[in-house]
Amino acid sequence: DIQMTQSPSSLSASVGDRVTITCRASQSISNYLNWYQQKPGKAPKLLIYAASSLQSGVPSRFSGSGSGTDFTLTISSLQPEDFATYYCQQSYNTPPWMFGQGTKVEIK
Amino acid sequence: QLQLQESGPGLVKPSETLSLTCTVSGGSISSTSYYWGWIRQPPGKGLEWIGSIYYSGTTNYNPSLTSRVTIYLDTSKNQLSLKLSSVTAADTAVYYCARHAEMAKGYYYYYGMDVWGQGTTVTVSS
């Protein structure tokens, strides 16, 4: 089964900062990679699918890149509402479709 | 607008079977090309994919849970169900159901969990 590893597990940043989160797959998954945002007490929200395609309604300050085994989620200018935990998930072939362990973005 | 709502007992005794239902409104659970799945989140921890079922009934489970989990569709009630047997305290979590939609990019299709229920908390304790 394909395992997903995110880094860092947490980070502190200020409003306006550029933030980058990394996700690595244990084997090549082409671009079958999703990113989710989860705020405390809420269900996750799909941000990006196919490694770089923005889900409808998601602000353009979010972007994704990568292919194969290495992927990144970038927030170009961190906003107050972006403080949350972010998860990557692979959707390669058929399930199982595992999640990364999450990256918590906190206020500096 | 599609909505998902989880329901079931909030407290389950150790060694018993956890049973949850996800009621789908605003759309059909039989719609072609969708997967439906369950995801859980232990207190203070990350998301764990439990398993998914294709609209045709084909199931896939997390290898760490496959001996204890069953997921099925009840098309007459437009519901998705989860059964997890022989539960322990480690199964205490918020349980979410989610639709996996097929999204096009170029010539290819990609699955993403685009609609989620609000989640239901299940505690395993005697």
- Asked if A91 is an interface residue toward chain B (Cβ–Cβ < 8 A), one would say yes
pLDDT over 90 (residue B68): yes
For A27-72, how does the pLDDT look when each residue is reduced to its tens digit (9 = 90+)? 999 999 999 999 999 999 999 999 999 999 999 999 999 999 999 9
A36, A50, A85 ranked by CB distance to B110: nearest: A50
Banded pLDDT at B32 (limits 50, 70, 90): confident
Q: Residue A42: how many CA atoms within 13 Å on its side-chain side?
A: 12
- Asked if A97 is an interface residue toward chain B (Cβ–Cβ < 8 A), one would say yes
CB contact under 8 A, B110 and A49: yes
pLDDT over 90 (residue B18): yes
How high does pLDDT run on average in chain B? 96
Banded pLDDT at A1 (limits 50, 70, 90): confident
Question: Which helix (H) or strand (E) element contains residue A10?
Answer: strand A10-13
Q: Give the mean model confidence (pLDDT) for residues A13-29.
A: 97
Q: What is the pLDDT of residue A39?
A: 98
**Coil, helix or strand for A68?**
coil
**Shortest distance, CA A24 to any CA of chain B (angstroms):** 16
pLDDT over 90 (residue A6): yes
Q: Distance between CA atoms of A86 and A66, rounded to whole angstroms?
A: 16
pLDDT over 90 (residue A101): yes
Hey, how many other C-beta atoms are within 10 angstroms of the C-beta on B87? Answer: 18
Distances in Å between the Cα of B20 and the Cα atoms of A2, A34, B71, B76, B121 are: 27, 26, 10, 17, 11
- Residue pair B25/B3 in contact by the 8 Å Cβ criterion: yes
pLDDT over 90 (residue A100): yes
